[in-house]
């Protein structure tokens, strides 16, 4: 993970209490808006028996359009969030700390345009005991990454 983080210009790491790893809890505790945090959502689907995966990055106050944009991009009939045990096993990261940085290279990283347009975002670091601060645009420049405008939608109030 250290080598992967070094490949992201400007990335900063800070330690947190693992009990604060969930985005909403961390933002509430530190009095931060959800709009400055981004979540990595691992999604999966199958087509003709072949599993297809992707990591979707969205701002914390938005939700990934799994049944629309993601399903079409994966080219599957049904897309869903990867089960927790599968996400942990396949990413090699702790649940609550999953990040697109350092994912296996076969996982495409789709970055919502709102994330890419955010100057700095707080994201997972691969473990629950720390977070990363990275330029949003840097996430769209990761190997295998693509900016996808409209990947996520605002959550209705």
pTM of the model: 0.93
Does 57 reside within a domain? yes
Does 51 reside within a domain? yes
Identify the residue whose tokens are 């691969």.
Answer: 126
Does 157 reside within a domain? no
Does 84 reside within a domain? yes
Question: From first to last of its 157 residues, what are the pLDDT tens digits of the chain?
Answer: 666 777 788 889 999 999 999 999 999 999 999 999 999 999 999 999 999 999 999 999 999 999 999 999 999 999 999 999 999 999 999 998 999 998 988 899 999 999 999 999 999 999 999 999 999 999 999 989 999 999 999 887 6
Domains in the chain, number: 1
- What is the per-residue pLDDT for 156? 76
- What is the per-residue pLDDT for 97? 92
Q: Are 54 and 110 in contact (CB under 8 A)?
A: yes
Write out the two tokens for 4. 């992967």
- What is the per-residue pLDDT for 130? 94
Q: What is the CATH number of the domain that holds 69?
A: 3.90.960.10
Does 110 reside within a domain? yes
Task: Give me the domain span that covers residue 141.
Answer: 2-152
Identify the residue whose tokens are 């994966």.
Answer: 74
Question: What is the CB neighbour count within 10 angstroms for residue 51?
Answer: 13
Does 58 reside within a domain? yes
């Amino acid at each position: 993970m250290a080598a992967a983080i070094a490949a992201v210009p400007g990335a900063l790491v800070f330690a947190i209490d693992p009990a604060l790893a969930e985005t909403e809890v961390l933002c509430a505790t530190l009095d931060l808006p959800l709009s400055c945090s981004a979540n990595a959502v691992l999604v999966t689907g199958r087509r003709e028996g072949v599993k297809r995966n992707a990591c979707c990055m969205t701002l914390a106050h938005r939700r990934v359009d799994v049944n629309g944009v993601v399903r079409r991009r994966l080219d599957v009939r049904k897309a869903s969030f990867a089960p927790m045990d599968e996400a942990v096993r396949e990413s090699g990261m702790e649940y609550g700390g999953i990040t697109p940085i350092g994912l296996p290279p076969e996982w495409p990283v789709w970055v919502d345009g709102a994330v890419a347009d955010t100057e700095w975002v707080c994201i997972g670091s691969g473990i629950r005991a720390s977070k990363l601060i990275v330029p949003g645009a840097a996430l769209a420049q990761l190997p295998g990454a693509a900016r996808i405008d409209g990947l996520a939608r605002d959550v209705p109030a």
